[in-house]
Amino acid sequence: MEKQSELRFGDFALAEPLQRAVAELGYEQPSPIQAQSIPPLLAGHDVIGLAQTGTGKTAAFALPLLSRVDCAMRSPQILVLAPTRELAIQVAEAMQGYARYLPGFHVLPIYGGQSMGLQLKQLQRGVQVVVGTPGRIQDHLRRGTLRLEKLQAVVLDEADEMLRMGFIDAVEDILQHTPDSRQIALFSATMPAAIHRIARTYLRNPVEIRIQSATKTVSAIRQRYWQVSGTHKLDALTRILEVEDSNAWIIFVRTKTATVELAERLEARGYACGTLNGDMSQALREQTIERLKSGQLDIVIATDVAARGLDVERITHVINYDIPNDTEAYIHRIGRTGRAGRKGEAILFVAPRERHLLKAIERATGQTIEPMHLPSLADVADRRMAQFKDQLAEILEGEDLSPFETLIAEFQKESNVGLGEIAAALAFWVQKDKPLLPAAEKTPPPILEAASSGGRRRERPRAGESRPVREGPIRAPSGGGEEGPMGLYRLEVGEQHGAQIKNIVGAIANESGLPSRMIRKVRIQAEHSTVELPADLHASVLEHLRKTRVCGRPLQIRPLSGGEESGSKKEEARTLRRAPARSAQQSPKKELSRDSTRKRERMK
């Protein structure tokens, strides 16, 4: 075989429509796993590919297998098994992209939680490729709604992850439903005994491909960790964002929900953020990546699956806001920086109970991750002052300031004040939204969370990734004596429109500039909501908030008068004064019968 450095995708005997799609996607040189997997798969051999995540495995199996698909046949010819819904969707989208010039081609992702009726309708219409999670594929096989008689190839993607998630028996059951003549491609980061047994049982004379571990790629990346203690995670994150010399950031969290919530909280603090998660369409994902590449966006919050294959030269820093549960995910995450010989920075947040994960990561990478000292408020102030001085120097050097010199001279003469005082006043004006001396951080307020019984509530501290719950008042921290009087406001968006507290707080904070401590007691009713805000909101702020949309509806915010406020509270009180709780067996008719019996007894 030719050396990988000399290979191009055009050198492979891929079908012409696939070559055309690959060229449009900008693929030129195959990755090691692609260079070694595509030729044997094209030749019809079974393949075992041992490679870490993020090495380009999807194209390694999709391109050769799609080259043999017959689009005139409306039966599944390729079956891809994936451990998670997110990966199934990602693989299906990638295969659709590669097959864009195959007329009549259809790929169907199948996973739990999606409408079974929708899946049945698409299967009846006819598909050439099915990508699914083992459990849902089994469901269709039991129902007889997925027929595999025409199957040419099976792909086991991330086989060790399917083993870890308990799907290995399901995988074997599915393989037993496939024709003996089918080709199998098994891709895995590791080869545990159970995966080795499956390979020995079901694969025929497989070509085994081993790609050097991704652990070797982290040498150009400086790795540090911060021990989570005392300072709130969000406050720590914002200090790091301010102080580090950086270009662009990717911040990893564990869940799709956390990407949105962390982005909202950072935006409330003045940072422009994008998100990458498994719920996003491919078009929106590409748009976010393009904004990051072009410099329109400097921070992206992402999940592991959504960030696979992300290669943006501007990314200088990766932050693991939530520590990953396995070492391969960590290696994949930090590989988003330090690429192609460039330097990179990786910062890991580690709670005390997560120290064992830190040690596992150090063993996997073969490197010691050094502890970092969290920047102090003084460090933040120094950084802001240094940036302010740099901006001044840049303006003095590059702008024509003569009209402003004349203006300042006239003002000095009219007002009899010194140039130093005028300069200080202008500096204050420029920096009033982001003071050069940051205020001391306050501990984030607790939130109220519905308890599991009786509708009671209990307080718990707000964790870095916690989320508000419906009808839980957001309270200002105690001791905040600087706040003025508060007033109650009505918003024309409620529960039936899908409103949640996080939507309302995020919209108001982002559009009005109010700190979150001044947005209190959000209560969501069926068709409207109420919120406490400063009573003296400027008319221009109110006008802007009226047009601000939450869940697709303008807030139409307006202050409630005293009478309306008491009426709103009475309405809430009526909601709370429900009939006494009764057991599931005790019907209203039985209660009425018992009341009548008591009355008859009193009359006697």
Which of 132-136, 328-332, 481-485 tops mean pLDDT?
132-136
**pLDDT tens across 514-535, in order?**
776 788 888 888 889 999 998 8
pLDDT of residue 482: 42
In contact, 35 and 27? CB cutoff 8 Å = no
Q: Answer with the residue of higher pLDDT: 323 or 78.
A: 78
**pLDDT tens across 385-403, in order?**
776 777 788 788 888 888 8
Report pTM. 0.45
What distance in Å separates the CA atoms of residue 551 and residue 553, rounded to the nearest whole number? 6
Q: How confident is the model at residue 213 (pLDDT cuts 50, 70, 90)?
A: low
pLDDT of residue 177: 94
Q: Give the count of alpha carbons within 13 A of 281, CB side only.
A: 3
Has residue 603 got a pLDDT over 80? no
Q: Which of 379, 401, 400, 387 is nearest to 431 (CA)?
A: 387
Q: What is the DSSP track for 344-388?
A: EEEEEEE-GGGHHHHHHHHHHHTSPPEE-PPPPHHHHHHHHHHHH
Paired residues of 251 in beta bridges: 301, 319
Q: How confident is the model at residue 341 (pLDDT cuts 50, 70, 90)?
A: low
Q: Which CA distances in Å does 295 have to 249, 273, 276, 291, 336?
A: 11, 12, 16, 6, 16
Least confident of 189-203, 442-456, 583-597: 442-456
Least confident of 58-67, 179-188, 365-374, 543-552: 543-552
**pLDDT tens across 435-474, in order?**
666 655 544 433 222 222 333 333 333 333 333 333 333 3
- Percentage of the residues of the chain whose pLDDT score is greater than 90: 32
Q: How confident is the model at residue 55 (pLDDT cuts 50, 70, 90)?
A: low
Has residue 2 got a pLDDT over 70? no
Identical fold at 215-375 and 447-477+484-572? no
pLDDT of residue 165: 87
In the predicted model, what is the mean pLDDT of residues 124-133?
Answer: 94
Has residue 94 got a pLDDT over 60? yes
Q: Which of 150, 143, 132 is nearest to 71 (CA)?
A: 150
In contact, 53 and 308? CB cutoff 8 Å = yes
Mean pLDDT, the chain, whole residue set: 79
Place of tokens 């598909």: 127
CATH superfamily of 4-212: P-loop containing nucleotide triphosphate hydrolases (3.40.50.300)
Has residue 14 got a pLDDT over 80? yes
What distance in Å separates the CA atoms of residue 558 and residue 550, rounded to the nearest whole number? 15
In the predicted model, what is the mean pLDDT of residues 211-219?
Answer: 59
Has residue 52 got a pLDDT over 50? yes
CA dihedral angle for residue 155, residue 160, residue 163, residue 167, rounded to 10 degrees: -30
Least confident of 70-79, 304-313, 502-511: 304-313
Q: How confident is the model at residue 254 (pLDDT cuts 50, 70, 90)?
A: confident
Q: Answer with the residue of higher pLDDT: 100 or 446.
A: 100
**pLDDT tens across 561-582, in order?**
765 555 555 554 444 444 344 4
Least confident of 298-307, 316-325, 435-444, 454-463: 454-463
Tokens standing for 26?
């900008």
**pLDDT tens across 145-190, in order?**
999 999 999 999 989 889 888 999 999 999 999 999 999 999 998 8
pLDDT of residue 575: 42
**Exposed e or buried b for every residue in 47-69, given b needs 16+ CB within 10 A?**
bbbbbbbbbbbbbbbbbbbbbeb
Query: CATH topology for 215-375?
Result: Rossmann fold (3.40.50)
* E-state strands within 111-220: 129-132, 153-156, 183-188, 207-210
Domain ranges within the chain, ordered by starting residue: 4-212, 215-375, 378-431, 447-477+484-572
Has residue 285 got a pLDDT over 70? yes
User: Which 3 state secondary structure label does DSSP give 550?
Assistant: strand
Has residue 601 got a pLDDT over 90? no
Q: Any idea which architecture 447-477+484-572 has in CATH?
A: 2-Layer Sandwich (3.30)
In the predicted model, what is the mean pLDDT of residues 200-213?
Answer: 88
pLDDT of residue 549: 82
